[in-house]
Structure 1
Amino acid sequence: MHRSTVSSDGMSRLYRLLAAVERVGNRLPHPFWLFWILSATLAVVSLALATAGVSVVLPNTGETVAVRSLLSLDGLAFAAGSALENFAGFPPLAVIVVVLLGVAVAEKSGLLAALLRLTVVRLPTRLITFATAFAAMTAHVMSDTAYLVMIPLGALAFRAAGRSPVLGVMVAYVSTAVGFNASPLVTPGDGIRTALTTTAAQTVDPNHVVTPVALYFFSAASSVFLALVITIVVETVLAKRPDLDGDVDGEGEGVGGLALTALERRALVRALATLVVIVAAVVTALAVPGSPLMGDHGSVVRSVVITNIAVFLSFTFAAVGLVYGRVTGTIPSISAAPPVMIDGVRQIAPVIVLFFAVSQFLAYFDWTGIGSLVTVEGADLLHALSAPHWVILVAIVLAISVLNLVITSGSAAWSILAPVLVPMTMYIGMAPELAMVGFQIGDSVTNPVTPMNAYFIMALGYVQKYRKDAGIGTLMSFTVPIALAILVAWTAFFLLWYALGIPLGPGVDVR
């Protein structure tokens, strides 16, 4: 039997429900094939609607859009003739590849892991939970690699503080998963989501651009808020469990010791100096009168630096990573950087393969006119219901949090939902960035409780290093309370932010 003391009927029913979700989810095809199945379904639906002569009038332009059949000669010609353009022009593709070129260098050099270790070790022992949780928020800049760094780091940090390493694993895993879309830094995920949102928003307003920093104020504030909520739940509920005196003889491999060596500290200082020089150079270039880097009418928000921030982020990560790597010897020369970048891109090969299928589906969705039909009819339904915007936002959060139990890939889910959700909300007077916030919350909160999350099993494996008889129920008994608390607290935080009218990011009003 597991040592978990959670055995109430309610929790048992929850475990059975999650087990059912796991069984259903395991029967779903690979996302690559899922999008082709959706494309085939779209083709059949477009044929039926085109045969029936269905059309819709766009409220923003008055243009009439008739549904076109993908199963026609015109449709087949479009599908064959636009395939390469659809893929090459898919906005998230370039963004994620460019950003990861730099992030790969910073990660391989050991710089990012060193920063996380410094974040944890600098704070007093009594703040170890908050330090670990906030470090996880910062680690989101490494995308999924954050799990690989944070989970062993959490065990090490808690053992060093004389606390249960099992609890450390739980805090690190849940913090990384439940707040995956909140960070004090701009992450590759921000680039993917905002590129998809821009494409969807431009079906309504061709001039609307959503930059990777569009939600920065909210995301940065959320990272601190979520770390606090996680700390409160852990310290008041989970840390008091009587079953935390488990096996503590497991190994804490993965990131090395917590304390930084003298060499690592010297490397961090030089990397920080490099960062300061780069930032100063960019600010100086922007400050030059008539600088071509500035946007129209001297707008910083529309400047080349912000609208193409992926390029600047990649260069910055690569530069500071090279400096750190040269000092520590992890990247001994500039010539060693390209292989590291290649390895970084190789790690996202599955995402690139998925993007090919996603890009075709989205192109078909737009060409057939079904996207316009769904968004306009959906907007009319919302108008008829006369629901306040905050009610719609809560509904978006709840619906996506349930969907995320099965489809845990945020980029895949947003690829499907953005073309419908973003224009629909724009038609009822809501900013497209609001729809993205609602998605990001719902897409995060259920990450740690679903077995469909690939890192769920990895986290369980680390728990079993310290507690040999741990099982899925053990992990869920820790993750479910935090996930539920975050769902309520983060949604309330979002509604308060909306009510106060605080900008979501630079130049992005919440209303």
Structure 2
Amino acid sequence: MSQAPANTPVAPRGWVVRALDRVEKIGNKLPDPAILFLLLMVAVWVVSWWLSGVTFEAIDPRTGNPIVVKNLLEGTALTGFAAAMVNTFVTFPPLGVVLVAMLGLGVAEHTGFISAALRAALSVTPRMLLTPALIGVGILSHIAVDAGYVLVIPLGAVIFYAAGRHPLAGIAAAFAGVSGGFSATMGIPSSLDPLLSGLTQTAAHLTDPTVSVNPLNNFFFTTASSVLIILVGWFLTDRVIEPRLRGTPVDGDASQMPKLDPLTASEKGGLGWAALAMGVTALLFLLTLLPEGSAWRAPDGTPLLPGQSNLLVAQAPLMQSIVPLIFVFFLVPGVVYGLVSGSVKTHRDVVQGMAKAMSGMGYYIVMAFFCAQFIWAFGQSNLGALIAVEGAGGLRALGLPTSVTLIGIILLTASVNLMIGSASAKWALISAIMVPMLMELGVSPDLTQAAYRVGDSTTNIITPLLPYFPLIVVFCQRYVKSSGIGTLLALMLPYSLTLLVTWTAFLLGYWALGFPLGFGASYEYVPAG
């Protein structure tokens, strides 16, 4: 199936498409992402200086003390910023995740393994099911922490292009599943479950020390939500996003783009041996994971089950090795495929594949440097904590009905999410106010947490402050050279707004019908005794 020509007739553009075009045009007039982060950092410095002398009554739930905005323009703060600059950059979490994963992916792509595997899969996959399958895989990737950003999203573009569809639509669909549906699950718990439940329980203990929050307290709701995410994403991708992209030419490096040519005999042989190598690698990994005393397990030696504390889950070598495992699981079959198919002659071909992958990451590394400095400065200033706590306090002061308050929590979280990317950091600030407040109204911590999870997901995909946002822009530029922040914003805005409305309505309907939220969860809070 060939790529549709750029001059394919385009249907008249409705007001939605024209509005998105306007968003893209305005967004692409913003400074380069690297300079944008630099300007935002300077703005944080100035605002922190302006507010540093103001006394706030808002209490930081993490310390129990009033929030104090730190002046980042004073001498000690500036010298501290300079002293920490290198460490801030090299320890920026997305940087290592992206570069290490891309080493393995680079070899698999350079040898032709990924192209051959996708062509084989697409030959038996109905074209109409590519979108829901891709979004579902994006949701499923949550069990591997942030792997979806560096694995599923670029493969979404490859899959769509190879199937004769627009690659940016593939990026949009994958991004919607990976990040827009961040709180959804596909029947498998993620590391986010114990993380949030631990914070929820801590907040609930401010009112009732006897409350116990199960790590799977939202499991049924988040699993059901995955169906909603897939259906909404499927409709928007096929009916809104892709039709709008018909007039956008794919002008990237054609030599790097996959084609749906039939597999040759050598490619079939290489693919078979590569699949066997991947299977053997997975089997060996499982054999080291299953024993009771496995070194992969949590510090206390028990399996990685949801009942463990989030500290033990985070400390488990398995959870800390997701990205290296991705590196190995693509490196091994990539090398085997290359040796059998003939695309790898010596070890130099393998190293060349890694170097080629790194050469394409130069622009991302520059953006990551400025992004890391901005995020560090924003965190040091305490401005994010002030915004979150003041917003939650204002919502409490309104004294709205329960259903409206839940909507308020969702909107507050979605707004704060545009500035604070960390799910745990936001919930640590907001939960200490909203969980006890709703408990006084008879609302369980489980339901309050579910409302937070909806708001936490829906605006991930439209904030340039998401640490992985610059990386997604780079992925877009591989296929459409003129892509910028505005391009990605226009792609993802329909998903964000639609999910915000439909997922909120879904939660309220789920609550009204009394479906169980999760294991050991309830909708109502009844004080003990």
Task: Place the TM-score, normalised by the shorter chain, in its bin.
Answer: 0.5 to 0.7
- Tell me what 1:269 maps to: 272
Partner amino acid for 2:89? Answer: F
- Tell me what 1:212 maps to: none
Any gaps of 5 or more consecutive residues in structure 2? 1-6, 139-147, 183-190, 203-217, 247-253, 306-312, 436-444, 465-471, 482-489, 525-529
Asked if 1:130 corresponds to 2:129, the answer is yes
- Tell me what 1:180 maps to: 175
Partner amino acid for 1:270? Answer: W
Partner amino acid for 2:379? Answer: D
The answer (yes or no) to whether the contact 2:85–2:373 under 8 Å persists in 1 is: yes
Asked if 1:52 corresponds to 2:54, the answer is yes
- Tell me what 2:379 maps to: 366
- Tell me what 1:279 maps to: 282
**Alpha-carbon distance change, 23 to 316 in structure 1, aligned in 2, over 3 angstroms:** closer
**Alpha-carbon distance change, 61 to 295 in structure 1, aligned in 2, over 3 angstroms:** same
- Tell me what 2:303 maps to: 299
Of 281-290 and 385-394, deviating more is 385-394
**Alpha-carbon distance change, 491 to 58 in structure 1, aligned in 2, over 3 angstroms:** closer
CA distance in structure 2 between the partners assigned to 1:45 and 1:321 by the alignment: 50
**Alpha-carbon distance change, 490 to 379 in structure 1, aligned in 2, over 3 angstroms:** closer
CA deviations over 1:154-186 (Å, ceiling 9, x no partner): 22xxxxxxxxxxxxx25x6434413324269xx
If the length of structure 2 is used for normalisation, what is the TM-score?
0.64
**Alpha-carbon distance change, 276 to 102 in structure 1, aligned in 2, over 3 angstroms:** same
Name the Cα RMSD after superposition.
5.1
- Tell me what 2:163 maps to: 154
CA distance in structure 2 between the partners assigned to 1:332 and 1:432 by the alignment: 54
- Tell me what 2:114 maps to: 112
The answer (yes or no) to whether the contact 1:270–1:323 under 8 Å persists in 2 is: yes
**Alpha-carbon distance change, 445 to 368 in structure 1, aligned in 2, over 3 angstroms:** closer
Partner amino acid for 2:109? Answer: E
- Tell me what 1:308 maps to: 321
Instruction: Describe the SS at the equivalent of 1:62.
Output: coil
Residues paired across the two proteins, number? 428
**Alpha-carbon distance change, 132 to 364 in structure 1, aligned in 2, over 3 angstroms:** closer
Asked if 1:325 corresponds to 2:338, the answer is yes
Decide which of 382, 390, 401 is 1:377's aligned counterpart.
390
- Tell me what 1:20 maps to: 22
Q: Report the CA distance between 1:304 and its aligned residue.
A: 1.1
CA distance in structure 1 between the partners assigned to 2:371 and 2:36 by the alignment: 9
If the length of structure 1 is used for normalisation, what is the TM-score?
0.66
Q: Report the CA distance between 1:377 and its aligned residue.
A: 1.7
Q: Report the CA distance between 1:371 and its aligned residue.
A: 2.7
Instruction: Describe the SS at the equivalent of 2:163.
Output: helix
Partner amino acid for 1:130? Answer: L
The answer (yes or no) to whether the contact 1:374–1:420 under 8 Å persists in 2 is: no
Q: Report the CA distance between 1:261 and its aligned residue.
A: 2.6
Of 131-140 and 68-77, deviating more is 131-140
The answer (yes or no) to whether the contact 1:106–1:320 under 8 Å persists in 2 is: yes
The answer (yes or no) to whether the contact 1:178–1:483 under 8 Å persists in 2 is: no
Q: Report the CA distance between 1:119 and its aligned residue.
A: 2.0
Any gaps of 5 or more consecutive residues in structure 1? 156-168, 188-193, 206-214, 245-251, 404-412, 462-475, 504-508
- Tell me what 2:440 maps to: none
CA distance in structure 2 between the partners assigned to 1:365 and 1:93 by the alignment: 18
The answer (yes or no) to whether the contact 1:133–1:176 under 8 Å persists in 2 is: no
The answer (yes or no) to whether the contact 1:398–1:442 under 8 Å persists in 2 is: yes
CA distance in structure 2 between the partners assigned to 1:372 and 1:483 by the alignment: 24
CA deviations over 1:45-104 (Å, ceiling 9, x no partner): 111211234474322442444222111112212111111121122112111111111111
CA distance in structure 1 between the partners assigned to 2:493 and 2:347 by the alignment: 46
